[in-house]
A and B are shown apart, each in its own frame.
Chain A
Amino acid sequence: MEHPLMFLVVILDKIPGLSHFVHAYPQVLYSWLAMVLLIVIGYLAGKSVTLVPGKMQNVLEVVIDAIENFVVEMVGEHGRHYFPLFATIFLYVFTCNLMGLVPGLFSATANINTTLSIALVTFCATHYVGVKHHGLKYVKHFMGPMLPLAPLMIPIEIISHLARVLSLTLRLFGNIMGEDLVVGILMMLAGKFLAPLPMMGLAIFTSFVQAFIFSLLAMLYIGGAVHEAH
């Protein structure tokens, strides 16, 4: 969605040669901003790791610990190995979602290309993990219960795996886009009377829930690839 006031676009528009890029792909700019934000926070917290944590380290330790426990609960001990992927997905999606609520910023996840990129990473990781754990036997998992049914089951499995990617993409995109649109419309209709305020409170909640569900589904898919094929 073209936003009337995106400060990064306005600033970078002044640099010659970049004008086309910043107007065509604001979502890329803002996903970079989210990455920079996360990297800076991580750097500040990790700069001086002490046994008695400081403020920044304390907050991040709580978040990371909660996510790690959750991953181990959901996927099992194997999941600890893939914990960085899940934590990255969760933190990145959550940051991107929340950025849409700040005036002058834009949710990178309100564009279908960003969400598709995350879903494709999940998809590739799922099958990489499957092949890594089971070797060539992983292909058997696509063939269904018995061999004569294999020609029928393989296209069905492929379609349902591709539908997963599409459903991950569309759910995140639709929710965040809709949320931003509602806030924008209420702002234009009755911004003077703080009409978008309750909607923004709800948007914080949906941002969290969508990030949570995305990473949870990634965990379930990867957990399924580890456990299922026997």
Chain B
Amino acid sequence: MKKSTRESIQLLSMASSMGIAMVLATVMGLAAGYYLDKWLGTSPWCTLIFLVLGIVAGFKNLFVIYKRVQRMSREEETEKKEKRNDG
């Protein structure tokens, strides 16, 4: 298998899980905060804090995938340039 095919398969699988992972991270944060509040009786602080943490976690996932895409396209460009210089 070529390197570019392998990278694009990896990227495809990550991208297919990206949307749902973002939503689920937010929901997980909210749920964790809600039940912590119920347990500790500190309404509404834990809910708010964990909701924000969940949203940040969701966006962190997006950011990691974005970094990978950026790196991949940069590598592709340098490969193309090398080919041009060779030819």
Contacts and interface: CB of A to CB of B under 8 A. Distances in A.
Interface stretch (A107-115, A120-128, A160-168): A160-168
Contacts, number: 57
A170 B20 contact: yes
Nearest to A209: B16
A166 B28 contact: yes
Nearest to B29: A159
A171 B24 contact: no
A178 interface: no
B12 to A, nearest CB: 9
Nearest to B61: A160
Contacts of B32: 159
A189 interface: no
Nearest to A161: B57
Nearest to B49: A155
Given A171-B20, A213-B16, A163 B28 contact: yes
B1 interface: yes
A55 to B, nearest CB: 28
A19 to B, nearest CB: 36
Given A216-B9, A220-B14, A155 B28 contact: no
A74 B24 contact: no
A164 B64 CA distance: 14
B51 to A, nearest CB: 11
Contacts of A171: 17, 20
Contacts of A213: 13, 16
Interface residue tally on A, bucketed by range = 20 to 34
Contact of B57 (A156, A166, A167, A216): A156
Nearest to B32: A159
Contacts of A164: 17, 21
B34 interface: no
A152 B28 CA distance: 16
B84 to A, nearest CB: 28
B6 interface: yes
A37 interface: no
A168 B6 CA distance: 21
B60 interface: yes
Contacts of B9: 74, 216
Given A155-B53, A156-B56, A163 B21 contact: yes
Interface string A156-185: 110110111011101100000000000000
Given A156-B56, A163-B57, A220-B13, A73 B1 contact: yes
8 contacts: A73-B1, A73-B6, A155-B53, A159-B28, A159-B53, A163-B58, A167-B20, A220-B10
> Can you list the 6 inter-chain pairs with the closest CB atoms, starting with the nearest?
A163-B25, A163-B24, A160-B57, A159-B57, A156-B57, A216-B13
